[in-house]
Amino acid sequence: MKTLHFLSLASLLCTATLHAETNSPVDPNALSMLKRMSTLLGKAKDFSFQSSSIHEVPSIHGQFITFFSVGEVALKRPDKLRARLGGDAPPFDFYYDGNSVSAVAPQTKVFSTLSAPGNIDEMLSGLQHETGIRFPSSPLLYSDPYSVLARNLLSAVVVGPTKVNGIACDHLAFRSPKVNWEIWIAAGPEALPLRLAVTFTDKPGFPHTVIEFSHWNLHRTLSNASFVFHQPAGTKEIPFAAVLHSADR
């Protein structure tokens, strides 16, 4: 994953922070850029993207362990979602078909299925509470991402222009209760999110996640059948929490 030069980034953040403290902690320009991205994603009926992520996970010894993962996500509004995750942790697949959510860990041959609300927004809102699944990028999947991302903001800063994998973008930084986060949004005609960094300030040690997005397709034609979970041969059903533990998610 590409990184910015530390000194340059530190200088930009310092300048942006001083500006925010001198004036308003919420820069309307940052909100405008975030709104532009959110409107683009919210209008897309079917879309897909790929991701590469770095996750810090606490170990039993007190040290954070870094995991690298890759993923593919497909969404069909208002009530279909599919995610396939792989990388350092064992593979993990997630399906939502408008009636139920299903999770499967192929390597350990276990799965779980629960009934779910009838649209993506309600499903995502209840998912973490009911099952323990937490997608850091889930705010991007709502019908109105801005309403989720801008909720209870303590500060919003335009860090400045930069590039992610050669693509010109705007780097924004935000603080909310329990979380600090940054997002890099493409500066071209389509304001797509290219990178998301999240620090969980309510967790010991402030664990950190960085996700880079690629291969966005906002004009997919996805069949309903592609979101339906079919139990793989030789798998057994167990509680959701056990599926997550089996896949180290």
Buried-state track 43-72, b at ≥16 Cβ within 10 A, e below 16: eeebbbbebbbbbbeeeeeeeeeebebebe
| Cα separation values, 118 from 50, 61, 154, 169, 227, Å | 25, 41, 32, 35, 14
DSSP state of 239: -
Locate 218 and state its tokens.
């906002």
Helices (H), the chain: 6-22, 28-43, 120-131, 145-149, 240-246
Over residues 31-39, the mean pLDDT reads 98
Higher pLDDT, 119 or 238: 119
- Rounded to an integer, what distance in angstroms lies between the CA atom of residue 26 and that of residue 196? 19
Answer whether 89's CB lies under 8 Å from 69's CB.
yes
pLDDT band at residue 136, thresholds of 50, 70 and 90? confident
With vertex at residue 205, the alpha carbon angle to CA 64 and CA 87, rounded to the nearest 5 degrees, is 35
The predicted-structure confidence for 167-221, as pLDDT tens digits, reads as follows 999 999 999 999 999 999 999 889 999 999 999 998 888 999 999 999 999 999 9
DSSP codes, 107-167: TTTEEEEEE--SSHHHHHHHHHHHH----TTGGGGSSSHHHHHTTT-SEEEEEEEEEETTE
Q: What are phi and psi of 215, to 5 degrees?
A: 55, 40
Domains of the chain listed by start with CATH number:
6-58+65-246 (2.50.20.10)
pLDDT band at residue 129, thresholds of 50, 70 and 90? confident
pLDDT band at residue 4, thresholds of 50, 70 and 90? very low
Report how far Cα 93 is from the mean position of its chain's Cα atoms.
15
- Rounded to an integer, what distance in angstroms lies between the CA atom of residue 142 and that of residue 132? 18
The confidence score (pLDDT) of residue 62 equals 85
Amino acid at 119: N
Q: Can the peptide bond before residue 78 be classed as cis, meaning omega within 30 degrees of 0?
A: yes
- Rounded to an integer, what distance in angstroms lies between the CA atom of residue 62 and that of residue 75? 37
pLDDT band at residue 3, thresholds of 50, 70 and 90? very low
The confidence score (pLDDT) of residue 135 equals 77
pLDDT band at residue 132, thresholds of 50, 70 and 90? low
